[in-house]
């Protein structure tokens, strides 16, 4: 099962980077229910070993590309996020005090907290793209204009995935001209 999760997630994250045009310094928010990945109901069966397998597959890809990760916690911690201190300080994001646990924050956020070089927790971000694994509702942590992305893989394990990228708002009227590279 773990090898399947690793293979599926590696493919998903590689395609997500490509289709969302993420670049060095951008932020990707990840919401993940390990319960849903193994076929249980969200929030009912948190699995640290599943989160670790998932993390092992995508984290090296993100580090290599210089893309920051925000691991969203579950509702028990108000969907706070685990990010690298470097990103929080660079973007003046206030830090909050809590340490995620598998049953209070979720297994992926717990794994991120244990793996990141200098993890901190924050309440709010505006990510450049996101992936929702298992219906965790990441929308509040994306920049204002989210654009759905269709990937060739639609599940990791038993969990449905929904991906999005963001783009700047269109402003102006019928005479406005837009930069196609920002679409």
What is the reported pLDDT for 41? 93
What is the reported pLDDT for 1? 81
At a CB cut-off of 8 Å and minimum separation 6, what does 22 contact? Answer: 16, 28, 65, 67, 128, 129, 165
Q: Can you give the pTM of this predicted structure?
A: 0.92
Residue pair 32/59 in contact by the 8 Å Cβ criterion = no
∠ CA 41-46-51, rounded to 5°: 115
Q: Is 6 helix (H, G, I), strand (E, B) or coil?
A: helix
Q: Tell me, what CATH number does 115's domain have? A: 3.40.50.10360
22 vs 46: CA distance, rounded Å: 29
Domain total of the chain: 1
Profile the chain (183 residues) by mean pLDDT over runs of 10 residues.
Answer: 91 95 97 95 92 96 97 92 98 98 95 98 97 95 94 95 94 86 85
What is the reported pLDDT for 152? 95
What is the reported pLDDT for 15? 96
Which structural domain range is residue 76 located in?
A: 2-182
What is the reported pLDDT for 173? 79
């Amino acid at each position: 099962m773990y090898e399947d999760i690793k293979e599926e997630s590696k493919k998903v994250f590689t395609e997500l980077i490509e289709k969302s045009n993420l670049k060095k310094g951008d932020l990707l928010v990840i919401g993940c229910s390990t319960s849903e990945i193994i076929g249980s109901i969200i929030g009912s069966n948190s699995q640290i070993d599943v989160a670790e397998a998932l993390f092992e597959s995508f984290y090296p890809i993100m580090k290599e590309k210089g893309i920051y990760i925000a691991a969203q916690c579950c509702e028990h911690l108000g969907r706070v996020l685990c990010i690298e201190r470097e990103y929080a300080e660079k973007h003046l994001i206030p830090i909050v005090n809590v340490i995620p646990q598998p049953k209070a924050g979720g297994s992926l956020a717990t794994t991120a907290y244990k793996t990141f070089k200098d993890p901190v927790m924050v309440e709010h971000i505006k990510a450049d793209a996101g992936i929702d694994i298992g219906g965790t509702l990441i929308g509040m942590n994306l920049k204002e204009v989210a654009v759905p992305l269709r990937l060739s893989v639609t599940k990791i394990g038993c969990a449905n995935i929904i991906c999005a990228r963001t783009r700047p708002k269109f402003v102006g009227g019928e005479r406005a001209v837009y930069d196609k590279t920002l679409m």
